[in-house]
A and B are shown apart, each in its own frame.
Chain A
Amino acid sequence: MSSSKQPASTSFKAPDSSRLQLDEQGRLRHFLTTDGLSKDILTEIMDVAESFSSVGQQAVKKVPVLRGKTIVNLFFENSTRTRTTFDLAAKRLSADVINLNIATSATSKGESILDTIRNLEAMQADMFVVRHSASGAAHFIANNVEPHVSVINAGDGSHAHPTQAMLDMFTIRREKKVFSPLKVAIIGDILHSRVARSQIHALNTLGVKEVRVIAPKTLLPSDTDSLGVHVYSDLATGLDDVDVIIMLRLQRERMGSALLPSEHEYFECFGLTEEKLAYAKPDVMVMHPGPINRGVEMDAAVADGPHSVILQQVTNGIAIRMAVMTLALGQAKGAEQ
């Protein structure tokens, strides 16, 4: 059989998301995953975010960059925090925003998702910000929207949460300036974490020295190394000499599905305390995507301590989302003026 597009390749190839995410000129059209995007694109997102970061300090916290654009926050999965920051970001760009929270139960079938999209497109929406409990949902929607509509992934299953990853990169860059010498450790539930996957791809693309993951084996995906990370099972060796620590949120349901014995034992092995922080570099920064379970993922003393940048992450999240929305709608020129 000879064929134009032969299936069954023999070597690993990264899923080709870039074709879907970029337009013909190589500019960002959809933002679905950090996987496959170039260092230039990721840097541009942070540069544009930098130019927006002062907007929040102005008396009038608004710029007219997306005036007349309609952005729909389409949340098939509950979220307050992420939706609020997207909402705020869109409003600071002067866009019209519609927030739709759609119970997943009513739309577990694909045809209803498509119907929802078709209806909103008929109302001349320019952008969908999508959160969904199924991995691949944002790709599915991006594959099915009209050519002028952009899709931003606000979290799909365990797959990707690229704006969270980019606000983390932005926070690291503001603190550490350059990526190349950094050793970064991600601690916790890698298996179910869309945040971790997006961070790992972004960190590797931006050229950090080393990405480590530290977790019990029940919370690691198979072939974890193939993601481009070093795997550790304990904090003492895993945190040795690291510049950045990223904690992940632990969902309570992991105990129910026999992945962990108890929160108490998890904290004892993988919880971040001031003593364990001492394994890392003295100027280590501690990050967490929130909301934090104090006493499960980390001590309150660490969360509120001098190494923590958790609140900067939240502030930076608005600038990053403004940047991504602006770039995807092709209005970056207006932003820089």
Chain B
Amino acid sequence: MNILIKNGRVIDPANECDDVLDVYISNGKIQSLGEQPVGFVAQQTIDAKNQLVMPGFIDLNASLREPGYEHKAVIASETKAAVSAGYTSVCCLPDTQPVLDSASVVQLILDRAESTDYAKVLPLGALTVALEGHTLSEMYALKKAGCVALSQAPNNNINAQVLRRALQYASTHDLLVILKPEDVLIKDTGCVHDGSVSSRLGLSGIPVAAETIAIAQIIELAEETAARVHLTGISSARAVSLLARAQLNNVTITADVHAHQLHLTELDVGTFDANYHTSPPLRSADDKDALIAGVAKGVFVVSSGHQPHDVEAKQAPFPSTEPGISSLETVLPLMLELVGDGLLSLSQMVNCLAYAPAQLLGLETGRLSAQAPADICIVDPNNTWQVNAENWLSRGMNTPYLGHQMKGKVTHTLVNGRIIVEK
């Protein structure tokens, strides 16, 4: 199948490209940009005039809930939501039931993803058996079965000794380790940022130190073991400066921030609104500004932190509700808003949603180079739409943006050169 995407504004930071160019696709791969290949006859043409043509996004942190929590979401619903939001690949956290700590669970997830045929699913194997933080998982077997990295997320219940050994062993097999920086003892029963809102509402706070102590420990261990470590879901200004300093010292450590942390603050919790109960917690306005600046400086990338929930999970007194936002479908408009506000360039946005994550995971995608798999999204940046129950695709309706106007909508998504989304 030959596909021509013409007249679109192509944003491809891997090739330092931001130009109106035609994109030629055949046999699932990108053939060329700009120049028509000899003998190319398009069987389908997409007119992308006034639209953005970008490499499909790659998410580093999403819970897809299957197997085990199908009452919250399933792979089919969440990968459909993902691909409609511009994502062509999604890393799924190992917090399934059974936990994603064996080759058979990896196979089950990959089979399910293949049969549903929306976004690609990239499994993150559990770093420790049952995510309990005691015994190392069979990392080599997980890698052979198709895991792109290992993770202890969504928790960080692992002591320094086990973590040190896990990093040494993962590094033996050249596996990336994705960790959520959170000291569970300091976090304790905390459910919101430790600040003026926690004080006023009498909610247990999560101090910034819960994050920074974990980061400092991980940086030391990453440096000592030379393991490749990625921190997922950082939330504070102090974390940004710790990371920037580590990178200056050439420690191989990378990180991501969830897109909603670049927009929301502790104040949004309002009067116990459980839709703003997140993990990591929404922090202060200063933290939010430092996170945006960090993204703009390229210190870290952006993930969704997608946590779809059933209605009951949010129907309880605030501390008893489950944390998390169903976020895949709002990442793109939230990022485009930062671009619109002049805080980020389009190229920087694509870099942190697609190219940099691909580099981290060692994928060929995330770029529009010739012979790369044609994972592409096309976006109308001026299309405004309202978040509502009718157009929401994730099974988790737990978004604080319900009823809000969003700007920027995906019109087409191609996965391996096949048009999966067409609006």
Contacts and interface: CB of A to CB of B under 8 A. Distances in A.
Given A1-B334, A15-B270, A8 B200 contact: no
B192 to A, nearest CB: 10
B268 A4 contact: no
B57 to A, nearest CB: 18
Interface stretch (B13-21, B219-227, B259-267, B412-420): B259-267
B263 A5 contact: no
B198 A221 contact: yes
Interface string A96-135: 0000000000001111011000000000000000001011
A20 interface: yes
Nearest to A132: B317
A76 to B, nearest CB: 9
Interface stretch (A62-70, A157-165, A240-248, A261-269): A157-165
A15 B200 contact: yes
B199 A223 contact: yes
Contact of A1 (B207, B268, B320, B405): B405
Given A7-B263, A8-B267, A12-B267, A110 B202 contact: no
Interface residues of B, number: 43
Interface stretch (A79-87, A136-144, A305-313, A329-337): A136-144
A164 to B, nearest CB: 14
Interface in B241-280: 263-265, 267-268, 270-272, 276
B333 interface: yes
B202 A135 contact: yes
A17 interface: yes
B200 A14 contact: yes
B195 A222 contact: yes
A197 B202 CA distance: 8
Which of B265, B315, B334 has most chain A Cβ within 10 Å?
Answer: B315
Given A4-B403, A136-B317, A140-B318, A159 B202 contact: yes
A21 to B, nearest CB: 10
B316 interface: yes
Contact of A109 (B204, B320, B406): B320
B288 interface: yes
A5 B201 contact: no
A110 B312 contact: yes
Given A136-B318, A159-B201, A221-B199, A4 B405 contact: yes
A222 B267 contact: no
Contacts of A137: 317
Given A9-B267, A222-B205, A109 B316 contact: yes
Contacts of A132: 317
Contacts of A168: none
Contacts of A25: none
A113 B312 CA distance: 11
A3 interface: yes
A108 B321 CA distance: 10
Contact of A222 (B194, B316, B401): B194
Interface in B273-331: 276, 285, 288, 312, 315-321
A157 B199 contact: no
Given A1-B333, A35-B200, A15 B271 contact: yes
B202 A160 contact: yes
Nearest to A109: B316
Interface of B: 194-205, 207, 263-265, 267-268, 270-272, 276, 285, 288, 312, 315-321, 333-334, 337, 384, 400-401, 403-407
9 contacts: A1-B333, A7-B400, A9-B268, A15-B271, A109-B312, A110-B317, A140-B316, A223-B195, A223-B199
The 3 closest A-B pairs by CB, nearest first: A110-B316, A158-B202, A159-B202
Given A7-B400, A132-B317, A158-B202, 14 more contacts: A1-B337, A1-B405, A1-B407, A7-B263, A15-B197, A17-B271, A35-B200, A109-B316, A110-B320, A136-B203, A156-B202, A194-B202, A221-B198, A222-B198
